[in-house]
């Protein structure tokens, strides 16, 4: 479970994330929906312990983000969009092993888990090839397996489908559904209404770092008297909402 309490981040004079609070339960996909610059990446980077909050905190599976960052790190899996960050000269297996060793897993645990996941994600054929020689889709599979090698309880996805082709987007969507079935708590950021509508159990609409609306899509449509998510989004983040 993820419990976020008054999380804020100020960069010099930019209030990137402003007093954000929300909760995500096991087996739930929580979509952070917002325009460019809304504060999604900053929020996820803080939850991933990659960036120190200016104020506020979060409990990740009962562990405090500020006081116990090393314990938090063991409980989260991260899949961020863009470059997969693999070492080209290491094989796919070595890339995954390197990350797993940083998570303090034993050699036996790592081997068993790689065998299981290589089968599950169809990686057998290329797992011992250097990452630099793999296609973009193959690299993505390696990044996916790396993100769950330590069987985290919480998954953070930051625009994980940006720049991918149709079949790779589907792979990522299937992976998110798989994580939900495994009972993980999932936070997924996107600016695509269609993606959010398709995958998320609950959404938080974020604008200028603030949460301006939250709930299931059904709840929000009813509350704002619309059956169009895009219209709802524009109403909440458009000019007339500015304060």
Ligand X SMILES: Nc1ncnc2c1ncn2[C@@H]1O[C@H](COP(=O)(O)OP(=O)(O)OP(=O)(O)O)[C@@H](O)[C@H]1O
Choose one: 33-41, 55-63, 108-116, 228-236; the region binding ligand X (CB under 6 A). Answer: 33-41
By CB under 6 A, is residue 163 in contact with ligand X? Answer: no
By CB under 6 A, is residue 149 in contact with ligand X? Answer: no
At 131 the three-state DSSP class reads: helix
Among 8, 40, 73, 75, binds ligand X (CB under 6 A): 40
Query: Beta strands of 48-194 (E only): which ranges?
Result: 55-60, 63-64, 76-80, 154-158, 185-190
Contacts of residue 101, Cβ cutoff 8 Å, sequence gap at least 6: 110
**Exposed, middle or buried, 27 (CB in 10 Å: 0-12/13-18/19+)?**
middle
By CB under 6 A, is residue 41 in contact with ligand X? Answer: yes
At 6 the three-state DSSP class reads: strand
Cβ closer to ligand X: 152 or 204?
204
Cβ closer to ligand X: 39 or 152?
39
How does DSSP assign 207-227, residue by residue?
Answer: ETTEEEEEE-HHHHHHHTT-S
Among 111, 173, 191, 221, binds ligand X (CB under 6 A): 191
- What string marks each residue from 4 to 23 as x (binds ligand X by CB under 6 A) or -? -------x--x-x-------
Which residues make up the interface to ligand X (CB under 6 A)? 11, 14, 16, 34, 36-42, 191
């Amino acid at each position: 479970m993820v419990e976020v309490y008054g999380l804020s981040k100020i960069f010099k004079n930019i209030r990137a994330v402003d007093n954000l609070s929300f909760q995500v339960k096991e087996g739930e996909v929580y979509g952070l929906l917002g325009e460019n610059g809304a504060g999604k990446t900053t929020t996820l980077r803080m939850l991933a312990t990659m960036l120190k909050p200016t104020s506020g905190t979060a409990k990740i599976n009962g562990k405090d983000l500020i006081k116990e960052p090393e314990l938090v790190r063991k409980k989260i899996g991260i899949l961020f969009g863009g470059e997969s960050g693999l070492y080209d000269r290491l094989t796919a297996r070595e890339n995954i092993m390197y990350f797993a060793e940083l998570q303090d897993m034993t050699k036996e645990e790592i081997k068993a888990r790689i065998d299981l996941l290589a089968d599950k994600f169809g990686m057998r054929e290329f797992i011992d090839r250097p990452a630099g020689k793999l296609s973009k889709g193959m690299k993505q599979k390696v990044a996916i397996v790396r993100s769950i090698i330590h069987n985290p309880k919480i998954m953070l996805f930051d625009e994980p489908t940006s720049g991918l082709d149709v079949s790779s987007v589907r792979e990522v969507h299937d992976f998110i559904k798989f994580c939900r079935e495994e009972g993980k708590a999932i936070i997924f950021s996107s600016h695509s209404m269609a993606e959010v509508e398709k995958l998320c159990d609950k959404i938080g609409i974020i604008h200028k770092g603030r949460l301006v609306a939250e709930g299931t899509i059904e709840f929000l449509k009813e509350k704002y008297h619309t059956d169009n998510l895009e219209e709802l989004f524009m109403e909440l983040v458009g000019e007339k909402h500015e304060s």
